[in-house]
């Protein structure tokens, strides 16, 4: 029997219980930092040192945290479903938990890339990317992050995947950032959609969605148990 396919769209909230800050909650990263000063091509042009330091701190923190119950519950879901995770997160906690299929929409913190050729991507050793570290073409290496104002190269692949969903699960995202927030629109008709988030996320564009107003750890574990029982 072929397994049903579950597409999971995750955001910063899935990693919150691991100790990684979200962006737009009170106390979130975009309250402490001006997004235009650290996460745009203009910021990179203006002050490379500041941008490098911002992402170095994020990367350093990533080495100090672990996946949480929500990440592990999504791994358990693979026992009976064909699970594909599309994450907006730049951490590697889904991979470290053991999820097999993970697509990163907004890049990956542990990778760096050439600032003149986006196809030259490298794994970074350790947490610190320094000024003066260059790609094979001699240009400064930059964080492998999709900044605001840049294209999201994975979107066509993600949209294609969403069109194959039997069940769509959204976890821990404010759905503020497009095109990621619009991916759910590619689901087939009759695909069941769940949202797990403790806050009141704007989801009026997703009719029939089942809302689970809980933190990711508990909400995901409970839903995964239910889905495994129903499989």
Number of residues that bind ligand OAD (CB under 6 A): 25
Question: Which position's Cβ is nearest ligand OAD?
Answer: 13
Region of 6-14, 40-48, 49-57, 155-163 interacting with ligand OAD (CB under 6 A):
6-14
Q: Does 12 bind ligand OAD (CB under 6 A)?
A: yes
What is the pattern of x (binds ligand OAD, CB under 6 A) and - over residues 88-127? x-----------------x---------------------
Distance CA 62, CA 133 (A): 21
Q: How near is the Cβ of 48 to ligand OAD at its closest, in Å? A: 17
Q: How far is CA 88 from CA 118, 125, 172, 230, in A?
A: 19, 23, 10, 28
Scan residues 15-54 and list those touching ligand OAD (CB under 6 A).
16-17, 22-25, 28, 39
Nearer to ligand OAD, 30 or 127 (CB): 30
- Candidate list 50, 116, 185, 199; residue touching ligand OAD; CB under 6 A: 199
The closest of 120, 154, 117, 141 to 56, measured between CA atoms, is 141
Phi-psi region of 208 (alpha: psi -120 to 50; beta: other; left: phi over 0): left
The token duo for 173 is 């995202």
In the residue annotation, 205 being an active-site residue is answered as: no
State in angstroms the smallest separation of the CB of 152 from ligand OAD: 9
The H-assigned helical ranges of the chain are 13-16, 29-32, 35-38, 41-46, 48-62, 69-76, 93-97, 155-162, 216-230
Does 216 sit near ligand OAD (CB under 6 A)?
yes
Q: Which of 94, 104, 106, 144 is catalytic?
A: 106
C-alpha to C-alpha distance for 142 and 46, rounded to whole angstroms: 13
CB of 3 to ligand OAD, least distance (A): 26
Structure tokens at 161: 């995947």
Q: Say if CB 10 and CB 173 are below 8 A apart.
A: yes
Residue 177 touches ligand OAD, criterion: CB under 6 A: yes
CA–CA separation, 213 and 207 (whole Å) = 17
Smallest gap, in angstroms, from Cβ of residue 93 to ligand OAD? Answer: 13
Sites of contact with ligand OAD (CB under 6 A):
11-13, 16-17, 22-25, 28, 39, 88, 106, 146, 172-174, 176-177, 197-199, 201, 215-216
**Residues labelled catalytic:** 106
């Amino acid at each position: 029997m072929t397994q049903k396919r579950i597409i999971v769209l995750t955001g910063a909230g899935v990693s919150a219980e691991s100790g990684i800050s979200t962006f737009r909650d009170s106390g979130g990263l975009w309250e402490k930092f001006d997004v235009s000063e650290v996460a745009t091509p203009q910021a990179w042009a203006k002050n490379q040192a500041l941008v490098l330091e911002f992402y170095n701190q994020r990367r350093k923190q990533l080495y100090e945290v672990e996946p949480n119950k929500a990440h592990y519950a999504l791994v358990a879901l693979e026992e009976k479903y064909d699970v594909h995770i599309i994450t907006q997160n730049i951490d590697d906690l889904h991979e470290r938990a053991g999820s097999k299929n993970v697509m990163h929409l907004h890049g990956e913190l542990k990778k760096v890339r050439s600032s003149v050729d986006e196809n030259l991507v490298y794994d970074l050793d350790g947490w610190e990317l320094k000024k003066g570290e260059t790609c094979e073409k001699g240009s400064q290496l930059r964080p492998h992050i999709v900044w605001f104002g840049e294209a999201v190269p994975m979107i066509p692949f993600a949209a294609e995947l969403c069109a194959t969903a039997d069940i769509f699960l959204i976890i821990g995202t404010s759905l503020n950032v497009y095109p990621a927030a619009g991916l759910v629109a590619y689901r087939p008709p009759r695909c069941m959609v769940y949202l797990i988030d403790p806050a009141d996320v704007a989801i009026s564009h997703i009719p029939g969605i089942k809302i689970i107003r809980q933190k990711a750890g508990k909400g995901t574990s409970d839903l995964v148990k239910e889905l495994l029982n129903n499989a």
